[in-house]
Chains A and B, each alone.
Chain A
């Protein structure tokens, strides 16, 4: 998983994430099967010229497809695992951030007022911002900027507090430690907003899919059989691509990380 600058899928394609998941899956499968079928009609006759007069061509093509399939399958499998790991990591960072935020809120609740009150207000404000404004931006693949201002405001107020007793000193040190945990998790979340597979991986995957289907066009068999068998393979490739595409952006699409952890904290913060 790479930093935003290396991550492409170009942004021009990000509108695809706005399509509901089941429809997107159908779209991917239909596109791959459609491509294969269109190729069967227009490209297969041309490609078949290369193997037309070779006896036992189907065996050779089958062998090549098997070899190719092993490497390509491995590649797809590893990429799918990586994409899943990316989603899992982003989800873990969100959970860590929410947990640190909750602990921090508890810590500053013990501060004397008005410091305690101001700090609680600032954390509530941050949480509300994350739920209402940051998350919708993340869903659009945009790193939210104004949360940083809220974090700075909290940090400034936290540093402004001068502990007056040993108990306050311990509490303050713990709050600062918790704040650093929170910052770390928050940064990880923000990095994950635009993280994704590098463009080169997408090129290899798509080129690999095209080559796989092109090899299938070389087989000598009845046309209808070709459409059905190749169509099934194309559908499976489409599903794999859909799976990787859908997991590529942890905060985008129907099946993405939700702000539920923050929502539950915010609800508790607002309880009298």
Chain B
């Protein structure tokens, strides 16, 4: 039996050698395979997740339902296009932009600030773009101030305001309404002296017409009449009769929203000839014209800084891009142009500041940021944080577009506190902010 033992040991020994060899070979093969395959498996995956810089979040605060939706949705789309263009060009500070776009449902006083708070607090947005009515803007600014975020506001408004945390991209009266009044008073516009003021009854029309009256008074002129109606009002026969009785030779309209449909119906029904009694509207753009019958509005005017018909290559390019993205029958308007350009201006300011910090961005803006825009070069005035704008007057065409009949020779510096209306009030954010004058009481319940 003894000789058998070595034989068994020999087999075991052989078996152990085989097992060791197998293990060694297996481990070597596994390591080699891992080394060969790992790069192929994980290249570009970075553990499965593609390499991507942390996005910068922006808040777009526009009503998408309710009475303001049709106008505000277009502004939102213009901002989205700007964001997509910036992303396509590499983003901001090497980071892509993302956005949140909640719906404040046209509820200016309560839902706008609530949504703004959520955007700042929960979504961590770097800046907010939005608002339409002055009520919504005034409600959102305190939220932006509390969270130290900038609000970029794209709509023309009444002035009499300059907040540290708001950048105003729309026109103020000295860039829109007052040049329109001056045109009416000039030989090109008539000249006309008998001006009737009609408007919706809220902050913007009341304050704007207050400024207009002071402006006219400085020229020894008094409006022949003045009337205000609630938003959504549809009975304008009475006021059209008043206009006829006043022998007005021009109407300055700050009527907003759907009321314009009924207002122009009444003008047409009363046989008011745009050649004899032109209406200059401050709140009608290409979007609003879609709701108006061309035969009722053609020949009347709109005061603005931008029209889709601006005949420049940058504008044609922008309109083309917008239509390619959002539809061949979409139109562009003044607040859309301002909104798009504000997004690009914010990008330029952040890149100059090299940071998203609000103070640094404001500092960069105050150093003078100028970006090209569809309506021409766009600059923020560091003193007032308002845009420097060009004035344009458009005559409504039957195809719901505008012929530009007058354009300011140069851009107009913003003056949110015209001295004729707000004596003593000044604004210079490069020297500490607002210098208050005597309290000014604006007529009406505002």
Docked-complex contact A18 and B64, CB < 8 angstroms: no
Q: A32 near B: Cβ within 8 Å?
A: no
What's the least CB distance linking B1 to chain A, in Å?
22
Contact at A124–B40, with CB atoms within 8 Å? Answer: no
- Majority secondary structure of chain A interface residues (helix, strand, loop or mixed): helix
> Which listed residue, A30, A125, A222, touches B77 by the CB 8 Å rule?
A125
* B85–chain A nearest beta-carbon distance, Å: 13
Q: Does A46 contact B (CB under 8 A)?
A: no
Binds A, one of B4-12, B65-73, B124-132, B340-348: B65-73
A193-204 to B contact mask, C-beta < 8 Å, 1/0? 000000000000
Q: Are B41 and A156 in touch, CB under 8 angstroms? A: no
Residues of A within 8 A of B37 (CB): 26, 30
Q: Is B438 an interface residue (CB 8 A)?
A: no
Task: Find out whether the CB atom of A125 lies under 8 angstroms from the CB atom of B73.
Answer: yes
Does residue B45 face the partner (Cβ distance < 8 Å to A)?
yes
Q: How far is the CA of A179 from the CA of B102 in the complex (A)?
A: 23
Is A227's CB under 8 angstroms from B26's CB? Answer: yes
User: Assuming A16-B48, A19-B45, A128-B326, is B65 touching A153 (CB within 8 A)?
Assistant: yes
Chain B proximity of A1: nearest CB distance (Å) = 24
Least distance between A48 CB and chain B CB atoms (Å):
13
Contact assessment for B65 and A272 in the assembled complex, using a CB-CB cutoff below 8 Å = no
B41 touches A19 (CB 8 A): yes
Interface check A77, CB cutoff 8 A: no
Q: Which B residues are CB-close (under 8 A) to A120? A: 327, 329
**Is B30 among interface residues, defined by CB-CB distance under 8 A?**
yes
Q: Interface digits, B90-115 against A, CB 8 Å rule (1 contact, 0 not)?
A: 00000000001111000000000000
List the B side residues contacting A166 at CB < 8 Å: none
Q: Does A229 contact B (CB under 8 A)?
A: no
Binary flags per residue of A1-34, CB closer than 8 Å to B gives 1, else 0: 0000000000000011111100100110010001
Q: Mark B51-70, 1 if CB is under 8 A from A, else 0.
A: 00000000000001110011
- CB nearest to A156 among chain B residues: B65
**B327, A153: Cβ atoms closer than 8 Å:** no
A27 to B33, CA, bound (A): 12
A23, B18: Cα distance in complex, Å: 33
A224 lies within 8 A of chain B by Cβ:
yes
Return chain B residues, CB-CB under 8 Å to A50. Answer: none
Known: A121-B329, A223-B19, A224-B18. 18 other contacts (CB 8 A): A16-B48, A18-B49, A19-B42, A23-B41, A23-B42, A26-B37, A27-B41, A37-B26, A114-B291, A120-B329, A124-B326, A125-B73, A149-B65, A222-B18, A227-B26, A270-B327, A271-B328, A272-B328
List, sorted by A's number, 10 A–B pairs whose CB atoms are closer than 8 Å: A19-B42, A23-B41, A30-B33, A121-B326, A121-B327, A121-B330, A122-B73, A124-B326, A125-B73, A224-B22
Taking Cβ atoms with an 8 Å cutoff, the residues of B that contact A are: 18-19, 22-23, 26, 30, 33, 37, 40-42, 45, 47-50, 64-66, 69-70, 73, 77, 100-103, 290-291, 324-330
Q: Lowest 10 A-B CB distances belong to which pairs?
A: A15-B48, A272-B328, A18-B48, A149-B103, A114-B290, A23-B41, A153-B64, A19-B48, A223-B19, A153-B65
